[in-house]
Structure 1
Amino acid sequence: MAKVSTSKKACTVNPLKMSQPIGGTLAFMGVEGCMPLLHGSQGCTSFGLVLFVRHFREAIPMQTTAMSEVATVLGGLENVEQAIVNISNRTKPKIIGICSTGVTETKGDDVDGFIRIIREKHPELDHVKLVYVSTPDFKDAFQDGWAKTVTQMVRDLVSAPQPGAPRRTGHVNVLPGCHLTPGDIDELREIIEAFGLTPSFLPDLSGSLDGHIPDDFTPTTLGGISLDEIAAMGSAEITIAVGEQMRVAALAMQEKTGAPSVVFDRLTGLAPNDELMALLARVSGRPVPRRYRRQRGQLVDAMLDGHFQFGGKKIAIGAEPDLLWATASWLHELGCEITAAITTTHSPLLELVPTDEVLIGDLEDLEHRAADCDLLITHAHGRQAAERLHIPLFRLGIPTFDRLGAGHVLTVGYRGSRDLIFDIGNIFIANAHEAEPDTWKIPNEASDDASASVTTH
């Protein structure tokens, strides 16, 4: 069992953590026709906008209430009202997702009260859904903001089934954690549909941030789950949540709809995907499709092929708790030693990470603990640390702004687990060759010199 500790430094030197409002904003981007709105200063929104544009390389819809110093002191009702009215008139959203920030939370703005007043003053906006989530950035982290936002959308947007109403046979709700990419969500959709089931993902980044070219320009989100589909999630047969962060949202869905829920703490690796296949087979009443039996065989073969590369390797990981757990557990099962584990916020899984200590800290802490490691795994802000340590970096998580295809990285299912073996194993192979000496000195009596050089290739 790992010891969980928190860094006691006076300040964060090289941030690993991202804020709650950024996580909440990303969750809103998985809903069709949505405009995320940060209640705070312009800088808060600008930071998140740049971060998402660099990571996904897509147009990102985000707006701000543009709180000034005076507005912050006096209260933000007028700014929130103007923002909602202007957004509704100009961009015609179906839903506006409002996330608070540190400055307005410190002031103590009652945004729920603001929304009631705005509803009374502007009945013409009755057709626009308004969902508010409290996400102060002076506490918690990216993963927490995502989880709170999904939970609030379940409470506000999912319709409870009528008493005695039948369930929609074959319909499955899926609540993905923030550590899943649009590519991961596409993979899960394909797996679930292969069993003859119909999944509904909340949120669904695969429809909005998967890099497709839209037929027409829209100032709101390009795709994602529709409000009608969210409302219909109440009549599904079962809810599947991916990541410990989604447990509260899964319980909220279960309480509202009465349908059972199952939480997978990870879907990276052999055993958790076996459990997923068994669950889907039970729900659908169908056997596991042949293609996934074959993919399982490919994964096992990849484990056999790669075990020489992974055995005994020392790994340093910096990531959000669920991504840290999924990655560290899988690499440990492949024979690696998790030497350093740094994360951003608390989670029940941290004590279970296969290492001696998990530190809630920053990338400087990760760099100090990774000196003797064979691989550094974190997002793109870890590249300078990897260069200084002269060890390879495997980029994983948000933001990854110096590589293409970050939104399509696959880490779930048999196929995603297999690809991780190949991607990381190839790094070990490449760096093992670089570490080998080019020249060995051996005695040679026939030479006039005491030794001769023999070059190895």
Structure 2
Amino acid sequence: MAVVVESKKACAVNPLKMSQPLGASYAFMGLDACMPVMHGSQGCTSFGLVLLVRHFKEAIPLQTTAMNEVTTILGGYENVETALLNIRKRAAPKIIAICSTGLTETKGDDVEGYLTTVRKRKPELDDTELVYVSTPDYVGGFEDGYRHAVAAIVKALVKPLPAVARQVTLLPGSHLSPADIDEVREIVHAFGLDVIVLPDLSGSLDGHIAPDWRGTTLGGTTLEQIRAAGASAFTIGVGEQTRDGAQALHDIAGTPFEIFERLTGLEPNDRLLQRLAQLSGRPVPAKYRRQRSQLLDAMLDGHFYTGGIKVAIGAEPDLLLALGALLHEMGAELAVCISTTASPAHERLPANEVVLGDLEDMERASSDCDLLITHSHGRQMAERLGKPLMRVGFPVFDRVGNAHRCQVGYRGTMNLIFEVANLMIEQIAHHHPGDWPLPQASVDLAARDPAREVKIPVVAAGA
């Protein structure tokens, strides 16, 4: 269990944390025919929009109530009403999802009251679902905003229905990419179960060319599917951040749930498949037995390059746990762990300490680490320290293909192990050109087998 320490600096330098409104908007992106709206100034929305566009390389629908100095003081009802009417007229979304910002939270706008009044005054909005979530950006982080948004969607749109025995609801955490969601969905389908993914970013931000342009989200969980979640026989959450949404489904429809703290690694995926076999009454498909065997071999091959290395990770809590726990299982030492916000996930992290801080805190503590893991804002830190950087999380704006990067399930875990091991091999080759990095175990094996001739010098990782 890691001890959580909060940085006491007067300001953040090279921030690691993204804001709550951005996390909530990200969750709303996973709803079909939805228009996310930030209730705040244009600048707040523009900043989040730029990060999302740079990460996914896609057009992002995100609107604002465009608060200014006057409306902030006098109250934002008129801005909210105008925004709702304009959005409905121009884009005709099925869902308009509003999240607050620090500006309007500090003022104390009663947005829920505003929406009640708008419903009474403007009957033309009767065919549009309205969802609101409070996400002040002066507290919490990206993961918190996502967590609150998923719970708000459930509370606003799900109603209890007669249970469907072979239907499950999947609540993916914000750290799962569209490809991760596709992988988990495929695993659930392999057991003959129907799955409703909420929210489903694999349908809206998976990098496809849409057949039409509506101005809203194109793909994701439909309004009908959200409502049908009230009939699911079971809920699977991935990441501690999904617990609130799963609990809300339980409170509304009585749906039992299980939260998987991560799906990166061997043991948690074993638990997932066992749970799915229990729910479906079917054995684990041969495909996944084969993948499990491949993962074991990948762990054997990769641990020569990860065993004993010191790693520094800067990430949101659930992503920090997923990556950190796997690297610990692969023999790495979690020397530096920086996160953004408090979470029960920190209690499970196999490290001595988690600092709630920024990338400056990470840089100061990582001088003797072999590998840095964080998002793209850590690239200057890696250059200054002369360390390899593995880009993870959000935002990753200096690489393409983020939507298609899979790091969950047996197959995704194997991909992650290879990525880390290859980074370490590249580091060895960079510092010792001409030496082909060969694990010591291979040399030992060759020494026991006279038929093998291995005359390649070996350089240990970190040498």
With the shorter chain as reference, the TM-score category is over 0.9
SS in 2 for 1:349: helix
Alignment equivalent of 2:173, drawn from 172, 177, 200:
177
| TM-fit CA distance, 1:293 | 0.4
SS in 2 for 1:159: coil
**Inter-partner Cα distance in structure 1 for 2:227 and 2:429:** 55
1:343 has 2:301 as partner:
no
Q: Structure 2: which amino acid aligns with 1:133?
A: V
Go from structure 1 to structure 2 and tell me whether the alpha carbon gap of 1:437 and 1:173 turns closer, same or farther (over 3 Å shift).
closer
SS in 2 for 1:425: helix
Q: Structure 2: which amino acid aligns with 1:340?
A: V
| TM-fit CA distance, 1:438 | 6.5
| TM-fit CA distance, 1:2 | 1.6
Go from structure 1 to structure 2 and tell me whether the alpha carbon gap of 1:456 and 1:308 turns closer, same or farther (over 3 Å shift).
closer
Alignment equivalent of 2:191, drawn from 187, 192, 195:
195
1:366-404 deviations in Å (ceiling 9; x for gaps): 111111111000000000000000000000001001001
* Structure 2 residues without counterparts, runs of 5 or longer: 436-455, 459-463
| TM-fit CA distance, 1:352 | 2.6
Alignment equivalent of 1:284, drawn from 273, 280, 284:
280
**TM-score normalised per structure 1:** 0.94
1:322-370 deviations in Å (ceiling 9; x for gaps): 0001100000000000000000000012133112110000000011111
- 1:5-154 counterparts in 2 under 5 A? 5-154=5-154
SS in 1 for 2:215: coil
SS in 1 for 2:164: coil
Q: Structure 2: which amino acid aligns with 1:11?
A: C
SS in 2 for 1:237: strand
- Equivalent pairs counted in the alignment come to 438
Partner of 1:332: 328
**Inter-partner Cα distance in structure 1 for 2:282 and 2:236:** 18
**TM-score normalised per structure 2:** 0.93
SS in 2 for 1:136: coil
SS in 1 for 2:344: coil
| TM-fit CA distance, 1:170 | 1.0
- 1:249-268 counterparts in 2 under 5 A? 249-268=245-264
* C-alpha contact (below 8 Å) 1:438/1:456 kept by paired residues: no
* C-alpha contact (below 8 Å) 1:205/1:224 kept by paired residues: yes
1:214 has 2:213 as partner:
no
Question: Which deviates further from its counterpart, 71-80 or 425-434?
Answer: 425-434
Partner of 2:410: 414
**Inter-partner Cα distance in structure 2 for 1:323 and 1:128:** 34
Partner of 2:441: none
1:276-317 deviations in Å (ceiling 9; x for gaps): 000000101111011100000000000111111111010000
* Structure 1 residues without counterparts, runs of 5 or longer: 440-454
Partner of 2:155: 155
Partner of 1:395: 391
Identity %: 59
| TM-fit CA distance, 1:435 | 2.1
1:433 has 2:429 as partner:
yes
- 1:219-368 counterparts in 2 under 5 A? 219-368=215-364
Q: Structure 2: which amino acid aligns with 1:192?
A: V
1:166-191 deviations in Å (ceiling 9; x for gaps): x2121110011100000000001111
Q: Structure 2: which amino acid aligns with 1:402?
A: D
| TM-fit CA distance, 1:456 | 7.9
Go from structure 1 to structure 2 and tell me whether the alpha carbon gap of 1:432 and 1:96 turns closer, same or farther (over 3 Å shift).
same
1:96-142 deviations in Å (ceiling 9; x for gaps): 00000000000000000000110011011101000000000000000
* C-alpha contact (below 8 Å) 1:351/1:358 kept by paired residues: no
